[in-house]
Amino acid sequence: MDLQLTGARAIVTGGSSGLGLAVARGLVAEGARVALAARDPQRLRAAAEGLPGTVLAFPTDTTDDAAVRSLVTGVVAAWGGVDVLVNAAAAPSAGAPPTLADLTDAEVHRDLDTKVLGYLRCARAVAPHMIAQGCGRIVNVSGLNARRTGSIPGTVRNVAVAALTANLADELGPSGVGVTVVHPGLVETPGLVARLTDEMRAELAATTSLHRLVTPDEVAAVVVFLCSPRAAGVTGDAVTVAGGNRGAVHY
């Protein structure tokens, strides 16, 4: 299927590694021009140089509204507009989630500033350009913590991303702009694999319907489809890419 993304102008935040980089790779493969945004300039340049096609690198901290606006201004100056935004930047997590007694305000603020307000800043910056051209796609990468307890900051931030998505979809839909949220489950990124023993990996795989973890490319394939005009009928909704969530019924 031709996803009609040839020549599309896309911004991918969190694009220097993990899911963001996998999404960028998928967009480039479909013929899109991709602007990668991430905080670490060195890792960002290395990621951009490793991709074929037309790729630009914009060192950007999405917790800084001026930096986000500069990113979008740079892309518009280079390509004349923005057709796609993929919000995938997130503060890295390590170890077990903190208990209520150990959870600090700073940890919650960090998560919300990056993954909720950061997504909002990026959407707010690209929206006028998408509205002016009468079309556009925004995909927010969230996570299955939106449907699970066990991590207060993880659940709160991901539920907030889903709520943000639905609100943006309602406001921007009449202008031809679609907004969706993707909930990956545990994804077999190099960072995760490095932290898992074989026994831990098997236990986690058993919690999925497929009895394995999904790969970054499998998540990216769904995101890239949602970025395309082919997905014009999908907006405001959440799509899960987790290999199946055993024991749960969603309707």
Note whether residue 250 is domain-resident: no
Note whether residue 200 is domain-resident: no
pLDDT in tens, 46-100: 999 999 999 999 999 999 999 999 999 999 999 999 999 999 998 876 668 899 9
Range(s) of the domain holding residue 225: 9-91+101-186+216-238
Q: Looking at the predicted structure, is the pLDDT value of residue 250 above 90?
A: no
Note whether residue 1 is domain-resident: no
Note whether residue 84 is domain-resident: yes
Note whether residue 24 is domain-resident: yes
Give me the torsion for CA of 117, 190, 204, 23, rounded to 10°.
50
Note whether residue 4 is domain-resident: no
Note whether residue 247 is domain-resident: no
For residue 94, what pLDDT is reported?
64
**Which CATH number does the domain housing residue 60 bear?**
3.40.50.720
- Euclidean distance between the first and final Cα of the chain, in Å? 28
pTM metric for this prediction = 0.95
Note whether residue 249 is domain-resident: no
For residue 115, what pLDDT is reported?
95
Closest CA to 153 of 100, 195, 192: 100
pLDDT in tens, 148-172: 888 899 999 999 999 999 999 999 9
Q: Which helix (H) or strand (E) holds 241?
A: strand 238-241
- As a whole number of angstroms, the distance between CA 64 and CA 87 comes to 15
Number of domains composing the chain? 1
Q: Looking at the predicted structure, is the pLDDT value of residue 22 above 80?
A: yes
